Chain A
Amino acid sequence: MAAIEIRNLRLDLRESENVLRVIENLSLSIDEEEIVSLVGESGSGKSLTALSLVRLIACPPARFSGGEILVDGRDVLQMTKAELRAIRGRVVSYVFQEPGASLNPVLTVGQQIKEVLRLHCSEEARDEDVGRLLRLVKIPDPQLRMNDYPYRLSGGVQQRVVLAMALAARPRLLVADEATTALDATVQTQILDLLKELRDKLGMAILLITHHLGVVRDIADRVAVMYAGQIVEMGPTKTLLLRPLHPYTRGLIECVPRLGATAGHLRAIPGQVPRLGSYPQGCRFHPRCAWAQSDCSTREPDLEEIEPGHWVRCPYWKLTSTDTGHEHR
């Protein structure tokens, strides 16, 4: 069963006179206990998609102009303020990139966690409850850390505290928006392991937003690749990483240096990532695509299911997946 399901979501942003369509017909469903990763570069709309789940976007300037987001058969886009409050934190909860910015600098860790507990659970939040949450995210000496202010903690421990707060109401889906990006490599692996463990222990689903395919391969069951406000490829992690069909996905995989690979030129994707909302006509990737055909600049491709569970938004995927691409670059 799906923990949450997005159907044909459209999101507009008003920028002075212009209306920018920043998310176009996006459909994504996340099953219970599934880890889905949303991959893309800046301006691809991945964070906006995640924030849309429980409508954490200010409207205006934003406007949901179509689609639905279903939780237990109810549409989030139609909910009242009170109904939204009831699902925020309890059904969907968030962890963001900079833990330091998510924590209140003038409250101790314990006070902040109690605030969340009071809001979601009972009138009386006790030290034991805080301690239990801190142990859940594996913070050593919870009794001591409870009385610390955030500035005393390292980035990794701060992120664990934020995670503890996000888990206070036992959400069904945890959204981790670049939650490990700012952390050091050795700490990043600790947090990724913790996330996997929490999924198994608490049986929650995770939507992990990242630009790092290494993180995806480490943790995700399924991946959706976003480019310029659209999903361009979606499928099981292994399939997608071994046999990427969309030229953009292929580019993303090939442009990162790998440990132990032979040195030489990296296969960069030419050009720039388009600005949020101002996307090219036709296929949005065509100006940067090595395999672009004459009709790519006019015809907008659909997301098609090539094999069960593997979706691609490129009519020329056969060309891409068999060709090495050398002669094109």
Chain B
Amino acid sequence: MALLEVRRLAVQFPIGERLFRTAKRVLRAVDDVSFEIHSGESMGLVGESGCGKTTLGRAVVRLSEAVSGSISFEGEDITALKCSTLRSRRQRFQMVFQDSHSSLNPRMTVEEIIGEAIEIHRLARTREVRRHRVIALLEQVGLDATHLRHYPHQFSGGQRQRIGIARALAVQPKLIVCDEPVSALDVSVQAQIINLLRDLQQSRGIAYLFISHDLAVVEHFSHRMMVMYLGKVVEIGDTKRICQTPRHPYTQALISAVLDIDPHSKRRRIVLSGEPPSPISPPSGCPFHPRCPIAEDRCRSTAPELRQVSEDHQVACHLA
């Protein structure tokens, strides 16, 4: 059984909604997305800004509400869980955010920030026990007891991200949704955080939904991956397979746009024209057809469904 199973999930935002006036149009941020994550596995999610990857990540932990579809966690449907039950279930799935500056309360000390989660889920009986747990967590993420009384502003970006990770770990979750966890960090510190997340996965069997715009990071980090474009998954499957033989023209372009450091590399670059269209008025047929170098007539009229092209590799393209 999969740890997380998402079926035909859709998230929409109304546009121009006011009091006594219902919205005429909707933005389809996530449109009919299905995937699953097994325990101890990391699933990468790539796409450009506005493709809906953050919304999908938030919907999975129920920070955004779905309009249709279902999310099951360990076999239990959590799509419609109410407040108190949802809170207790959240012990098993946590989130780490991109901006460690705005996701940590500036008026709380590190001990309070990490301890709060332990408190809410009543994981420690006394203050002493709680403090010991916080210290143990800090040590796991490469900080120590001397940091307990410090406030977020006293740390560098990389250290703050470690605090965010310790907070997520505090309740011993089985799944962590990481939304661009390293994008705001200096490159020399990025690698530290990636290594940390990976070590935690190996020692605790945590599964990740790892959201990033950086394909090289996703390839490095995740077992499986999916590529999103305008709210839809266009390619999903085994990471190595997708990166070596991408079948969707959009994935091919994304991979060719990764700027390689090696001066000898001779990767062919596919330059896409234009930019992603607005998800408020997506194009007819395949959402990628206006930028696709190989689009045909049927791409303009019929939207392609995801179909299996090889073992653990699905693509939504008529021509793949």
Contacts and interface: CB of A to CB of B under 8 A. Distances in A.
Contacts, number: 126
Tier of interface size on chain B:
35 or more
Given A185-B254, A255-B190, A258-B261, A156 B216 contact: no
B57 to A, nearest CB: 18
Interface in A146-203: 154-157, 184-190, 193
B263 A263 contact: no
B159 A268 contact: no
A42 B156 CA distance: 11
Interface stretch (B60-68, B169-177, B191-199, B293-301): B191-199
Contacts of A237: 263
A227 B152 CA distance: 25
A269 B191 contact: yes
A241 B261 contact: yes
Interface string B158-169: 110000000000
Most chain B CB within 10 A, of A186, A188, A260, A265, is at A186
Interface string A245-260: 0000001110111111
B319 interface: no
A259 B156 CA distance: 28
B19 interface: no
Contact of A258 (B48, B216, B275): B216
Given A272-B159, A273-B156, A190 B188 contact: no
Interface string A7-41: 00000000000000000000000000000000001
Contact of A211 (B186, B192, B216): B186
Interface range on chain A: under 10, 10 to 19, 20 to 34, or 35 or more?
A: 35 or more
Nearest to B263: A238
B129 interface: no
Contacts of B309: none
Contacts of A185: 48, 213-215, 254, 257-258
A256 B258 CA distance: 12
A214 B275 contact: no
B188 A214 contact: no
Nearest to A237: B263
Contacts of A157: 275
Nearest to B264: A242
A213 B261 CA distance: 6
Interface in A188-247: 188-190, 193, 211-215, 217-218, 237-238, 241-242
Contacts of B186: 41-42, 211, 273
Interface of A: 41-42, 154-157, 184-190, 193, 211-215, 217-218, 237-238, 241-242, 251-253, 255-261, 263, 265-270, 272-273, 288
Interface of B: 48-49, 156, 158-159, 186-192, 194-195, 198, 213-217, 219-221, 243-244, 253-255, 257-264, 269, 271-272, 275-276
26 contacts: A42-B186, A184-B275, A185-B254, A185-B257, A189-B269, A211-B186, A212-B187, A214-B258, A214-B260, A217-B261, A217-B263, A255-B191, A256-B216, A256-B261, A257-B194, A257-B221, A258-B216, A258-B262, A259-B255, A259-B260, A260-B219, A265-B195, A266-B220, A272-B156, A273-B156, A273-B186
